[in-house]
Structure 1
Amino acid sequence: MDIKAILLDFDGTTLQRDQVFISVRNMYAIRKALDKGIYIVPSTGRAENMQPPQIEAEKRIRYYITSGGARVVDHSTGEIIHEEILTPEDSARMCRVFEGRNIYTEIAAGGRIYLEKAVADHLERYPVPSHHVWFIEAGRQIVIDEPSRYFSENGIGIEKVNMYGIPAGLQQQIYDEVEHSGVAHITDPVGENMQFFPQGLDRTRGIRKLLDKLGISMEQVMSIGDSVLDAEAVRASGIGVVVGNAPQWLKDEADFVTAPFDEDGVAIAIEKFILNEG
């Protein structure tokens, strides 16, 4: 099969246990695929400026499918190829779900991460994910006083929202507020950590927009993932690959099950199907 692009999930798929760096073997395989003229396309729930440092440093990787497909960009030029985001008005409305409730919340918009100032001023009190510390220490976040007012007044639409350490007494209430909003959808069960995306978001729409631009068909794509967010791409691609730590239902739908994320599963798949070494 003439594979011309690899769609690559990161968390639970390509990254090591630290969820920051890519193993030497995985990165070597990625670079060898690039040498062969294969497009490597991050296809992830992360915002544009939260991509792994090794990916950002590899300038041959220019197209990013981010925030679960809400935003597809040419990272080298800033061109927006596809967007499915909340309107500024709906963004303001959804910010009021967590605003002022002392919840560590990362708001993705325009490829950047925004934090509520009341929270950002006292990060030591909040459960900042360990694999996000590098991002915070690098000062990449934008701190804003009142998110609802900021997005409304500046005409900015939200791509996705991640909430961490939600108090037990607020978890069901927040879940219900998002799910009943009619504009956003939570992808997780009720719990202390939840994320939401625009209602009806379909990652494959953004993928197909990018592939049209590149003159590539889905049959010429290998997708590698581990979760429900990767499922549609795995099903639609010429070669759908899932790592060994993926749930069994997703393994059953894949063309190939590789090793788990922490055993260089991505490298094994690339070696087998792209580099012809397995």
Structure 2
Amino acid sequence: MDIKAILLDFDGTTLQRDQVFISVRNMYAIRKALDKGIYIVPSTGRAENMQPPQIEAEKRIRYYITSGGARVVDHSTGEIIHEEILTPEDSARMCRVFEGRNIYTEIAAGGKIYLEKAVADHLEQYPVPSHHVWFIEAGRQIVIDKPSRYFSENGIGIEKVNMYGIPAGLQQQIYDEVEHSGVAHITDPVGENMQFFPQGLDRTRGIRKLLDKLGISMEQVMSIGDSVLDAEAVRASGVGVVVGNAPQWLKDEADFVTAPFDEDGVAIAIEKFILNKG
């Protein structure tokens, strides 16, 4: 089997339960695959500067598919290989969905995470996800006073938006505002935590653009994931792998179902298909 690249989802797939670190066995398998000249490519909903510390530290991991495919980048040079982002004008409009409503919101743009100043000044009052605390404590976030004005005036387009702890009375309203915007789409059901991406975003377009650059076909790719956001890549890859905690419908479409994310499922798949241990 001529696998030349492995696409890795993180949350619910590669990371441990803390959603910050990768297990010793998983990381060992990843490094062994790199030793064999195989590209390890993060393929995740996370922004470029919110990748797991062990991934950032491994300089041989060069290409990132981030924000659900909205931004594909060569992390070593900063080259943008593919982008599907909101226009600055649409970014400003979508910021008004949450702006001034006292909702903890992470705005991904240009590979970075932006926070609204009114919220950032009182983070102790908001439900910052536990696995994002390291990021906040490291000071990687950019605090801006009025997001709608900032993105419009600076000509910056948004990749994705994550909202946490949305008050019950606003959940349906915010969902409807995004879905009726014509430019963005929420990937979650109505609830206290919702994220939205540019309308029509397709992660596989970014994947194919990167593979074209590397001279690799989808048949030479192994994709490992756990959710609906990974489904198209799992279907299109030469070897589509899902972890044991994935929903049954996704397992039914996979070529191989490995162990759950917290039982070194990624390592088991790499050992089987790349390191010939299975």
Deviation, 1:194, is 0.1
Percent identical pairs in the alignment equals 98
1:51 maps to what in 2? 51
2:125 maps to what in 1? 125
Deviation, 1:233, is 0.2
Post-superposition Cα deviations, 1:32-54, rounded to whole Å, max 9, x if no partner, equal 00000000000000000000000
Residue 113, structure 1, aligned to residue 139, structure 2: no
C-alpha root-mean-square deviation of aligned residues, in Å?
Answer: 0.1
Post-superposition Cα deviations, 1:133-175, rounded to whole Å, max 9, x if no partner, equal 0000000000000000000000000000000000000000000
Aligned length: 278
Deviation, 1:230, is 0.2
Deviation, 1:262, is 0.2
Once residues 36 and 245 of structure 2 are traced to their aligned partners in structure 1, the CA distance between those partners, rounded to angstroms, is 28
Post-superposition Cα deviations, 1:83-137, rounded to whole Å, max 9, x if no partner, equal 0000000000000000000000000000000000000000000000000000000
1:153 maps to what in 2? 153
Deviation, 1:264, is 0.1
Map of 1:194-213 to 2, 5 A cutoff? Answer: 194-213=194-213
Q: Secondary structure at the match of 1:241?
A: strand
Deviation, 1:272, is 0.1
Once residues 228 and 53 of structure 1 are traced to their aligned partners in structure 2, the CA distance between those partners, rounded to angstroms, is 25
2:87 maps to what in 1? 87
Q: Secondary structure at the match of 1:119?
A: helix
Q: Secondary structure at the match of 2:77?
A: coil
1:243 maps to what in 2? 243
Deviation, 1:20, is 0.1
Once residues 6 and 234 of structure 2 are traced to their aligned partners in structure 1, the CA distance between those partners, rounded to angstroms, is 11
Q: Structure 1 stretches of 5 or more lacking a match?
A: none
Residue 162, structure 1, aligned to residue 162, structure 2: yes
Once residues 84 and 173 of structure 2 are traced to their aligned partners in structure 1, the CA distance between those partners, rounded to angstroms, is 26
Q: Secondary structure at the match of 1:240?
A: strand
2:75 maps to what in 1? 75
1:271 maps to what in 2? 271
Once residues 44 and 255 of structure 1 are traced to their aligned partners in structure 2, the CA distance between those partners, rounded to angstroms, is 20
Q: Secondary structure at the match of 2:98?
A: coil
Once residues 200 and 250 of structure 2 are traced to their aligned partners in structure 1, the CA distance between those partners, rounded to angstroms, is 21
TM norm structure 1:
1.00
Deviation, 1:234, is 0.2
Deviation, 1:77, is 0.1
Once residues 232 and 144 of structure 1 are traced to their aligned partners in structure 2, the CA distance between those partners, rounded to angstroms, is 35
Once residues 98 and 23 of structure 1 are traced to their aligned partners in structure 2, the CA distance between those partners, rounded to angstroms, is 36
Q: Structure 2 stretches of 5 or more lacking a match?
A: none
Deviation, 1:216, is 0.1
Post-superposition Cα deviations, 1:168-216, rounded to whole Å, max 9, x if no partner, equal 0000000000000000000000000000000000000000000000000
Once residues 257 and 277 of structure 1 are traced to their aligned partners in structure 2, the CA distance between those partners, rounded to angstroms, is 16
Deviation, 1:259, is 0.1
Deviation, 1:70, is 0.1
Once residues 237 and 15 of structure 2 are traced to their aligned partners in structure 1, the CA distance between those partners, rounded to angstroms, is 22
Deviation, 1:7, is 0.2
Deviation, 1:217, is 0.1
Once residues 34 and 23 of structure 2 are traced to their aligned partners in structure 1, the CA distance between those partners, rounded to angstroms, is 17
Q: Secondary structure at the match of 1:185?
A: strand
Once residues 82 and 26 of structure 2 are traced to their aligned partners in structure 1, the CA distance between those partners, rounded to angstroms, is 28
Once residues 236 and 107 of structure 2 are traced to their aligned partners in structure 1, the CA distance between those partners, rounded to angstroms, is 30
Deviation, 1:30, is 0.1
Q: Secondary structure at the match of 1:73?
A: strand
Q: Secondary structure at the match of 2:197?
A: strand
Deviation, 1:29, is 0.1
